[in-house]
Structure 1
Amino acid sequence: MGCCQSRTRGDPPKKREPSPRIDAKADLSAGSERALLGVSAAFLQALETQLRQQFGDEFDKLTTSEICTRYVMPLTKARACAWVDLLLEDPAQRPHLAPATVFVSHAWKYSFATTLATVLYHERTEVPGAYYWLDLVPNNQHAAVDLPYEWWCNTFQENIKEIGRVLLVMSPWRDPVPMTRAWCLFEMMHALNGQVQLDIRLPEAEVDGFVDALAEDSDAVMDMLVRVQAEKAEAFKASDRAMIFQTVEATLGFTELNARIKAELRGWCLEQALVAARAREVEDGEGAGFASFCMQIGKVLREFGEYEQALEYYGKALKIRLATLGEAHPDTATTYNNMALCLQQPGPNQGQYEQALEYYGKALKIQLATLGEAHPDTATTYDNMASVYDSQGQYEQALEYYGKALKIQLAALGEAHPATATTYNNMAGVYYNQGQYEQALEYYGKALKIQLATLGEEHPDTATTYNNMASVYENQGQYEQALEYYGKALKIRLATLGEAHPDTATTFNNMAFVYYKQGQYEQALEYYGKALKIHLATLGEAHPHTATTYNNMAIVYKTRASAPLTGTTFNNMAFVYYKQGQHEQALEYYGKALTIQLATVGEAHPHTGITYNNMAIVYKTQGQYEQALEYYGKALKIKLATLGEAHPSTRRVQSEICELTGA
């Protein structure tokens, strides 16, 4: 089974033409050209054969660092030169050299055989004919120890930019060594920051192991992501580590770097899971093994907030289990339970509380008949049903069912268990909803103590508890304490769930509200904006959470109306009113923005053109087409003068006018 491809966000990388082989007479003595030379897969295959002959069985255990000191440096010792210098002088080797098309990012303290195997697998399955930049080849290893950090920094940064594609050797997948090495993270940062294509790859021999682990223990995937913390990376030189960390802080910062790396890894994990699921379905689409695999895939998808896809795979599992095990089987109950979990989550096709309760009811009936009242799985279903009652505002019913769950968990699992912590957390949430804040903090404290001991600080469940405690402090008017705890939650969620996750949006929203209560309106709008961006991407325009965020932004704008406002602020306020369907108020505030712009920047300014365009959109929405045409005309005149006819913004306005006039 092939590895998937993980790409950086943003503009797609430019397509690169295959590198031409080097002419035997070409002069590549120039340092800049030599520094960018890559080697072919055929060269690497021959190298592997030679190294196995020289080192025997020991080869598989040798690190890249050991290959450097025991093979490359003796080979180049006589001239104290780079390996590439010898290759360029050998007519038999020159056809295997060309400008590199793939930059290989790998850990020097890990097996060189694994790096070679990954590169060859990548060439065979992804980019036949590629030329790979391996630092062992073009860099002079005799001089490397004396080169300053600045040289390495500029070399890697410029080479990544010029080559345009990075292959990250991801091994072993449970605890990837590159994630612990400062230079690998430095290379990833420049790939991510420079919109360079990033391929995350396992060696072929580890792919099946990753898929098997998915089938047996999907929690291992989350655990791997939790362990990735760039600020804990090491380097051979302490000074290099310090300088790399300074560079990270000066560019992305560790929180953003962790978030971006984990976003890439999540994409890689999800794609691997889906590819594996499709392959398993072809092999055994109706067997018990495939049903179990679907359950694990569904769990991974659910953990990552992909509820629709999770439901699809849970549905496949349910169909098989009903046909092979029947309704009255614990595994069937588990499937109903997991489907209900997806149905009660926020999203365009979720929040279906009655259907969720129906599925939980089916699960509970089966569990009581087959496992009994005192079983942990029965407790889980009580817990889940209570969460639905809580969401519906039926707090006494919720506490009753949480109480049933807690009683079973304390007897069967003990106090110091994550499941017990979850129930404490949930009960605290009900007390919070009832306004019993001290009781809520007590139960959140019980949950946090267990989570820190069993899951650790950097876990999504721990983030949830911090977030919940912050909400209590907020409602008690302890705003600084609230921001501190929301900050703890946000840091963990960005690192483990990523920016584009509904839970991350929730924390942004909560922090925005605290800033609003403190009168820090600009900060509040910034954080509401972050939440809105996530809601639009994950939940859609028509979701209640999206509408609530628009409403909250409108409240902030209204509240700060007594302060001096700019045309931009009025424009933003108008946009919020427009999205809420309050068209007259939108026009009023666009009018205020226009008045300021005409007085300060004039008629012929691009910002004035934007406001005319926005007003035209509102008039069009209202069906006032004559008025819309008038304002589109004003906008078009400005855009033609300032942006030109070929600009996409100008063309959009022309298209709107054509639509209204039927031209």
Structure 2
Amino acid sequence: MTSPARGLRLSYLRHFINSHGGETSFAGKTTAQVCFEFVVPLTKPTELSLVDHVANDPTTASFVAPANWYVSHAWQYLFLETVDSLERFFADRGLTDDAVIWFCVFNNNQHLASSYPFEYWSTTFKDSLATIGNMVMIMHPWNDPIVLRRSWCVFEVYVAVTMGARFEIALARDQEATFLGGIGQYGAFVKMLATIKSENSEATVPSDRDGIFAWIRAETSFVAVDRLIFSTLSTWIKTTLESSIGALSSPVQQAYRWRALGWIYLNDRNCVDAERCFARDLSHFTTLDGRSARLDVASAQVNVGMTRGTLRKPAHTWQPLFESALAVQTELLGPSDREVFATKYSFVAALTRNDLVHDAKTVALDLFDAHRHVYGIASSLTAVVMSLVTEIVHRLHDPRTALRWSRKTAAVQEQFHGSDHVCTILTLQIASAAYLALGRFDEGLALNQRVLATAQRTLGADHKLTLAASLNEGSFLLQSGDVAGAMAILRSVRALCPAANAPVHYKRDAELYLGHAVWTSGDVAAATDHFLAAHRILPGKDTVAAIYRVATADPMARCHLLALVTEAICSDVAPEWWPTNCVLCSKPIRGVLISCAACPKGAFWFCRVCSATKRERLERFCQHDLPAAQLETVLPPRRQLYHDALLTHDGSYKHIESLLDDYATYCNTHDVPPNERLPRPSIPTLNRGWHPML
């Protein structure tokens, strides 16, 4: 074995080929065949590695130099194709004269290779990579690379990237043409990634595979290795694809190349670069005429609209694109074409994401009617749209409609996917929430427990869907009065969230729900701590409202807590609206917030109108008899701050008078009912007994 620092100049590859009869002698031969038919006989007299053999011959010693590129490849590759890949790679980078390669066929002593154990080879590769610092991988074919099905090559990629080595990919001329032609096909990139699974890789020597796998399990995981390879290949493919666009002469070809690149970025959830690519795609087609060009423009408009909607850009930057695309597609393809359906689906998703839920419902119902007409109710395609409608009506806080849709949708989903499928579970979650919103606690809790058990069994305790079901379970138990059960499951969710890399709003909700649970148990201080933790995790109107409510219940901490959220309260553009809905009418609560003092904290909120006019329905939720059922009224935070300031005994007459004017403006602006406004006679500073001569 030669020193890892030594290699052969790139030019030696041609010298080696020419000295053995030229390319005709190597045609159709793999690297493995070249090793045993040429390298082994050539080095037999000295029984050295080819690098050492060449170094010891004065006529060829000049080909040996410190290696600066490590070559990763599969021995099943055609040798000439590997040479072409390397020559093109280094020529494109102006490195032909400088490249000195560490090539295992040449660097390893092939006469002794079978006698070395795994530990020797793993150390050799790691030391060589650490010394050289650059690795180029030969990747053939691009969409199912053999090299990544070899355990040693997977090992090399992981070591190179984790050690900070430069990692590049080389393709032969015909392979690059195939790559650039094939990558533009929809889904080609994702299909290529799907072929990579390090745990399925193989090695010629079974003990080598065992050693590599043991090392991966000890150092990291197969999933982590796959993710690293995905990321590395993705970066290379995106760079290569974008740099190739300028060489294309046809605007149509350039547009398709930009579109393919946009989908790759979208697969990486990089919507910023995806939008950039889709916009370039659109700009090329807008200069063309004809039916095909009009449809291409429509497709590009959908892609731009979809990414802008995902990025929550102003609706005027993407909504007209969807509308224009739908008009063209409907005209040229017909209203029942799958392309039209796909565009409407993307349009609904964008509207929903940007809280334009009423508009989304209109389009979604139209899409459902079309699917029902074309495919019928008992169709997996119709089930997808039904699921979309179910989610929308749930977002609109319409529990009766949500329950009706979720039950219909789940029935179709169970028919096609089974009761344990993730789509079915998601729909049943909505159904359980609807049951509870309607006061049907036994049915809702039983259904959610079924959902939770299924998610835990099929997805695991730390899966996002399982965590969501667990949060729902904690909330439902609290609503039903099982405070201890609620706290137990909510604490388990909070403990799982960090390791599960859960969405930040899950972590916030776990703290909020725990705060309400411990508050119900009588520990106001602990509730305050949980609400403050939720506010640190993800500050928003719901965390501000929770801190405000507990502040009103704790006179000792009131001033301190209100000071923490005063800025957020005063900057609220909708200060009379609460971040919660009335459980009776399902509408967002505006104005005073009403709850029962004896019910679990945060369980049931009522608006003023419903609490006064729907007593029978209220008793579905609050089943306490008088005097326990004491309805508490809480003013909106901003209004309460005005009341606190006006009712104080501090402050000059002029200041309080000015503040009262501001308060009147606030009440008029936000339509505060006259009977809820603070009357002037109740303000101490403006109505004290005084005389100017005293």
Q: TM-score range by the shorter chain?
A: 0.5 to 0.7
Distance in 2 between the 1:124 and 1:507 partners? 51
CA contact (8 A) 2:168 2:236 kept: no
Deviations 1:337-370 (A, max 9, x none): 222221221x3x54x4565443222112112222
**Residue 294 (structure 1) aligned to one of 247, 258, 264:** 258
Is 1:481 the counterpart of 2:454? The answer is yes
Q: Which residue of 2 aligns with 1:368?
A: 330
Residue 12 of structure 2: which of 35, 40, 43 is its match?
43
Instruction: Note closer, same or farther for the CA distance 1:271–1:334 as it changes in structure 2 (3 Å cut).
Output: same
TM-score, structure 2 as length reference: 0.62
Q: Secondary structure at the match of 1:132?
A: strand
Q: Whole-Å Cα distance in 1 between the matches of residues 538 and 393 of structure 2?
A: 35
TM-score (norm 1): 0.64
d(CA) in 2 for partners of 1:479 and 1:166? 47
Once the two structures are TM-superposed, the CA of residue 405 in structure 1 deviates from its matched residue by 4.9
Deviations 1:245-265 (A, max 9, x none): 121111111111111110111
Is 2:306–2:347's contact at 8 Å kept on the other side of the alignment? no
1:65 corresponds to:
32
Q: Secondary structure at the match of 2:336?
A: coil
Deviation at 1:489, TM superposition (A): 11
1:139 counterpart residue number: 108
Alpha-carbon contact 1:424-1:443 (below 8 Å) kept = no
Taking the aligned partners of 1:522 and 1:488, their CA distance within structure 2 comes to 12
Give the 3-state SS of the residue equivalent to 2:105 in structure 1.
coil
Q: Measure how far apart 1:512 and its partner are.
A: 9.3
Match of 1:311 among 237, 262, 275: 275
Q: Which residue of 2 aligns with 1:226?
A: 194
Query: Any idea what the Cα deviations from partners look like across 1:509-530, whole Å, max 9, x if unmatched?
Result: 8599689845325643414756
Residues 101, 319 of structure 1: alpha-carbon distance in 2 compared, 3 angstrom cutoff: closer
* Higher gyration radius (CA): 2
1:152 aligns with 2:121: yes
Q: Is residue 122 of structure 1 aligned with residue 84 of structure 2?
A: no
**2:367 pairs with 1:397:** no
Whether the 8 Å CA contact 2:49–2:106 is kept in 1: the answer is yes
| Distance 1:82-1:295 versus aligned 2 partners, 3 A rule | closer
Among 242, 256, 259, the residue aligned to 1:274? 242
Task: Tell me how far 1:146 sits from its aligned partner.
Answer: 2.5
Query: For 1:138 and 1:572, how far apart are their aligned partners in 2?
Result: 64
Shift of 1:468: 4.7
Structure 1 residues 555 and 93, CA gap change in structure 2 (3 angstroms): farther
Alignment-mate amino acid for residue 101 of structure 1: N
The alignment status of 1:580 with 2:539, answered yes or no, reads yes
1:293 counterpart letter in structure 2: R
Q: Calculate percent identity across the aligned residue pairs.
A: 19
Residue 143 of structure 1: how far off its partner (Å) = 1.6
Indicate how the Cα distance of structure 1 residues 313 and 82 shifts in structure 2: closer, same or farther if over 3 A, else same.
closer
**Whole-angstrom distance in 2 between the partners of 1:105 and 1:41:** 15
Deviation at 1:407, TM superposition (A): 4.1
Secondary structure of residue in 1 paired with 2:169: strand
What SS does the aligned partner of 1:239 have? helix
> How big is the shift at 1:303?
2.8
The SS at the match of 1:243 is helix
Are 2:141 and 1:172 aligned?
yes
Number of the residue aligned with 1:526: 498
Q: Hey, what does 2:206 align to over in structure 1?
A: 238
Query: Which residue does the alignment assign to 1:452?
Result: none
RMSD of aligned residue pairs (Cα, Å)? 4.3
Paired residue type of 1:265: L
3-state secondary structure, aligned to 2:183: helix
Cα pair 1:386 1:399 within 8 Å, conserved: yes
Identify the residue that residue 185 of structure 1 maps to in structure 2.
154
- Change in 2 beyond 3 A, CA 1:85/1:189: same
User: Aligned to 2:62, which of 79, 95, 99?
Assistant: 95
Shift of 1:110: 1.5
Identify if the C-alpha distance between structure 1 residues 188 and 35 changes in structure 2 by more than 3 Å, giving closer, same or farther: same
The answer (yes or no) to whether the contact 2:322–2:343 under 8 Å persists in 1 is yes
Q: Deviations over 1:67-92 (max 9, x none)?
A: 11111111122343322232121112
Determine if contact 1:179/1:230 at 8 Å carries over to the other structure.
yes
Local SS of the residue matching 2:491: coil
Distance 2:135 2:175 in 1: 20
CA distance in 1, matches of 2:168, 2:536: 43
Paired AA for residue 200 in structure 2: K
Contact 1:104 1:168 in 2 (8 A): yes
CA distance in 1 between counterparts of 2:469 and 2:295 reads 42
Greater mean deviation of Cα atoms: 423-432 or 260-269: 423-432
- Other-structure match for 2:130: 161
Structure 2 Cα separation of the partners of residues 64 and 248 of structure 1: 27
> Cα distance 1:292–1:35, how it changes in 2: closer, same or farther (>3 A)?
closer
TM-fit CA distance, 1:220: 1.3
Residue in structure 2 matched with residue 344 of structure 1 by the alignment: 309
**Residue 166 of structure 1 aligns to which amino acid in structure 2?**
M
- Give the whole-Å Cα distance in 2 for the aligned partners of 1:354 and 1:226: 37
In structure 2, what residue type is equivalent to 1:580?
P
2:518 and 2:7 map into 1 onto residues whose CA distance is 61
Structure (1/2) with the larger helix percentage: 1
Q: Which residue of 2 aligns with 1:262?
A: 230
How far apart, in 1, do the equivalents of 2:198 and 2:33 lie? 25
Runs of 4+ with >6 A deviation: 469-475, 506-509, 559-562, 570-576
Higher relative contact order by CA 8 Å / sep ≥ 6: 1 or 2? Answer: 1
SS at match of 2:136: strand
- How many residues are aligned here? 498
Unaligned runs of 5+ in 2: 396-401, 434-447, 475-488, 520-528, 548-563, 569-694
| Cα pair distance change 1:42/1:402, threshold 3 Å | same
Alpha-carbon distance in structure 1 between the residues aligned to 2:247 and 2:31 = 34
Task: Report matched runs for 1:203-222 at 5 Å.
Answer: 203-215=172-184, 217-222=185-190
